[in-house]
A and B are shown apart, each in its own frame.
Chain A
Amino acid sequence: MKKGTSFLIAILVYSSLILLAVFFTIDNPRYDLILQDYRMLIDGFITTILASLITLVCSMVIGFVLFLAERSKHNIVHAFAVVFSEIIMGTPLLIMIFLAVYVIGGIIFISNKFVLGVFALTLYMAPYLSNAYKTAVAVVDKDQYIVMNLYHFTLFEKYRYIIIPQMIRPLLPSLINNLSSIIKGSALLRIVSVSDISYVLTVISSKNWAAIEGYYVMWLLYLIITIPLSILAKYLAKKVSI
């Protein structure tokens, strides 16, 4: 069987199973009650996208600083960066959000839950972005560093003219995959009352006694965002490898 046909069959089978679950696992499903608050849903959708994009940009910046620190020749800088990454990667996102909102927020006198939630997501994602940079920088082989050193490029010049331009292509698929992880991770922001998709749907479904319908809608909305991103990441990965 051809690859395209196989994928079409797989997509049809899974879509049917999802639709079966959505419509036939609940007695008298009341999706109309969920969808009547569509303005709230749109606001939640926008909040999720906004929080995720801001997180991606901020974690790209902090991840890059972490990446540079991990590559530092100064042992102390390197050690602090490595231990920081290990601690963050070993911490569940849920705890990170609590720490940001109830501990760090108090210390830095910020009470805006959206800002602190994005801060938590950023800190959580930074080591993953740092790892993505580490993978991307491997495309610059050691022979190029010999040439850069021969002509006495400064550290800034090495990154500006040689390293970063070559890192961009292999980095793109990884960035999109990380954006997908951020979008899914942002669902936890509801525990501190940030009005993202998952919070809005929890409110709407509780109000209408339609909890399961709420979760199904939430699932479908996340799939609508993350599946195109995943396809884009695969497409870019394929283009990069050519």
Chain B
Amino acid sequence: MNIKINNLTKTYDNQIVLDNISLEINNTSTIGIIGKSGCGKSTLLRQLAGIEEPDGGEIIIDGLSPITDKIEFQKSIGVVFQKHNLFPHLTLKENISLILRKAKNMNKQKADSIAKQLLEKLFIENEADKRPNMVSGGQNQRCSIARALATDPKLIFLDEPTAALDPILTNEVLKAVNQLKNEGINFIFVTHEIHFLKQFADYIIFFENGIICEHGDVSCLQNPQTTHLAQFLGGI
């Protein structure tokens, strides 16, 4: 995956959240964005996924812009949210098959069958006919990953996917995303979990007060170049 960000800016209510960010990363499979709460890392993720439009600047991910080529770009990605964002009135299977019917124009029978296969892949096929409020947080999050896979994405965005989960459920999610990484899917994710970060990321971006303080190979977590990152890691 290749990413190029130029002069990216975003403000909410006159408060600068992304302050003229520029960055270029090439040939990386998984990028973890870390930083203190409220530093703007989820905002950066939303701009990269095309969920929100920045006030200024440009983003190119593998030749497409989430700003100017939004529809085409979003056809090639999946997004997993912190609160899973599954539709509560639909079963886990229906949550996926609806997206398949919508994104791939499939009939209901075929969409249901592929939805079941995706749930099997994430080891939650037994919960297929249950609604999100009837299964655990980890199962919901795995269903959310299965839904993200429905469009055959080359890149999946994860917005703090384990924030609401205990360590056992976190490991469930980690196992699932590692399997997908091995299958060749790229990831950009935001996390607070240093264990998740170390186990999953190839590249990290450390964010503070709307600017990138440090970025580089995941090994920089062992040997931080800035006092900001060192203090952040020391505080965890």
Contacts and interface: CB of A to CB of B under 8 A. Distances in A.
Chain B interface, >50% SS class = loop
Chain A interface, >50% SS class = helix
Interface in B79-125: 79, 81, 83, 85, 87-89, 98-99, 102-103
Interface residues of B, number: 16
Given A162-B87, A165-B89, A166-B88, A146 B102 contact: no
B50 to A, nearest CB: 8
Given A150-B79, A151-B103, A161-B98, A144 B87 contact: yes
Given A157-B102, A161-B98, A150 B87 contact: no
A86 interface: no
A146 B51 CA distance: 7
5 contacts: A143-B85, A144-B87, A146-B51, A151-B151, A152-B102
Nearest to B71: A152
Contact of A151 (B81, B83, B99): B99
B74 interface: yes
A37 to B, nearest CB: 50
Interface in B36-62: 49, 51
A15 to B, nearest CB: 42
Contact residues on A (Cβ < 8 Å of other chain), bracket: 10 to 19
Given A152-B71, A153-B102, A147 B85 contact: yes
Nearest to B77: A150
A144 B87 CA distance: 7
Contacts of A153: 102
Given A143-B83, A166-B88, A150 B102 contact: no
Contacts of A162: 87, 89
A146 B83 CA distance: 12
B85 A144 contact: yes
A146 B49 CA distance: 11
Nearest to B148: A150
Contacts of B103: 151
A66 to B, nearest CB: 24
A145 to B, nearest CB: 10
